[in-house]
Copies of this chain bind each other. A is one copy, B any other.
Amino acid sequence: MAEFMTETEQSSPVVPHPGTTGERRGRAGGSDAGPYDGQEAAALLERTRTLVDPELRAALESLPGSLRRIALYHFGWQHADGTPARDNAGKAIRPALVLAAAAALGGPTAQAAAVRAAVAIELVHNFTLLHDDVMDRDTSRRHRPTVWSVFGDADAILAGDALQALALRLLAEDPHPASAPAAARLADCVVELCAGQHADTDMERRAPDEVTLDEVLAMSEAKTGALLGCACALGALYAGAGDEDVAALDGFGRQAGLAFQLIDDVIGIWGDPRHTGKPAGADLASRKKSLPVVAALSSGAPAAAELAALYAEPYVSGDAEGVVRTALAVERAGGRDWAQTEAADRMARAVQELSRAVPAPEAADGLLALAEFVTRRTG
């Protein structure tokens, strides 16, 4: 699953403020600061780490020695040799969504009660990262070598299995009345994440013209949207919310997750590597069937045929001109505009879902700030 790049310069907001729902924002420069300047999100994320880390760390420390070392390396708390490392465990967006959702619907009491659920979400997220990296043969994660590349495939698979078990144990041991429905929902989400990753690995093997835009959208929703939705839904459950509000919070997270994925795909093609840490055009060089590319290929525009021909040939290492031509073809076939419009549309839907369950703007502020944080990237 895509990781939110923590080093990305924050600008170009996609999230409309409540009241501007449905408004389309074009790709903007850094001047369009939007309603949230990122400081509220940063404060929420910092507070989340303070609340979540002790319980998360305790869960990992409960593992038998062999698995503990692998898990602590993955979370950035130890080097591969077992010596302590600087905390590099990521931004904790998902646990922050759990806590913000609980606070939005149930205030500070619900937020305090939901810490365990926030830890469970973070454990599940990291279990999928460990396994996805094995399947995708990704060698780097959060600027460090991935677990499989350091310890081997077996250790990465086993550590992931153990993290899933820890997540569901945390909820099973939680006496809160929401813990059982939360566990059932989280387990359902794991199945959806697996189906999303399966669709992704399957699509990688197919020719670009055999992949439809609906398929890529469904895959992105399962792979990225589902866990963000589940995080918000768990927060709602811990606030004692009814089915409709839980569903609305799930919808909010899902749509925000899709908006994030669309923006991430745009950056994978046109992003400035000085700002994103991701070389521009990397996704094109790897012939990735990202959302803008598949939108362009299925647009029926004249440039779609050119793009199809370019994608049919393997990338020749160092062919910067070929990458530029490919990016131009995606743009001329409308892939870039579509992705940006779709991202704004998804954020509008997210805000709409949220306003159904949380009508008071001040209660919704934390969730909106987080949603803007994850979708606000240098285009």
Contact = CB atoms under 8 A, between A and B. Distances in A.
Given A161-B164, A180-B180, A190-B161, A66 B202 contact: yes
Interface stretch (A107-115, A166-174, A306-314): A166-174
Top 4 A-B pairs, shortest CB-CB distance: A169-B187, A172-B183, A165-B190, A64-B195
Contact of A158 (B67, B158, B197): B197
Contact of A180 (B155, B159, B179): B179
B173 A184 contact: yes
A169 B154 contact: no
Nearest to A187: B169
Interface of A: 63-64, 66-67, 127, 131, 134-135, 153-155, 157-162, 164-166, 168-169, 171-173, 179-181, 183-184, 187-188, 190-192, 194-195, 197-199, 201-202
Given A154-B135, A164-B164, A171-B172, A63 B191 contact: yes
Contact of A191 (B155, B162, B197, B199): B162
Nearest to A157: B131
Contacts of A127: 161
A134 B157 contact: yes
Contacts of A184: 169, 172-173
A306 to B, nearest CB: 32
> Which of A153, A165, A183, A184 has the largest number of chain B CB atoms within 10 A?
A165
B67 A198 contact: yes
One complex includes copies of this chain to the number of: 2
15 contacts: A64-B192, A66-B195, A66-B198, A67-B191, A127-B161, A135-B154, A135-B158, A157-B157, A158-B198, A160-B161, A162-B190, A162-B194, A164-B164, A169-B184, A180-B180
Contacts of A66: 195, 198-199, 202
Contact of A169 (B173, B179, B183): B183
A225 to B, nearest CB: 15
Contacts of A172: 168, 171-172, 180-181, 183-184, 187
Contacts of A153: 134-135
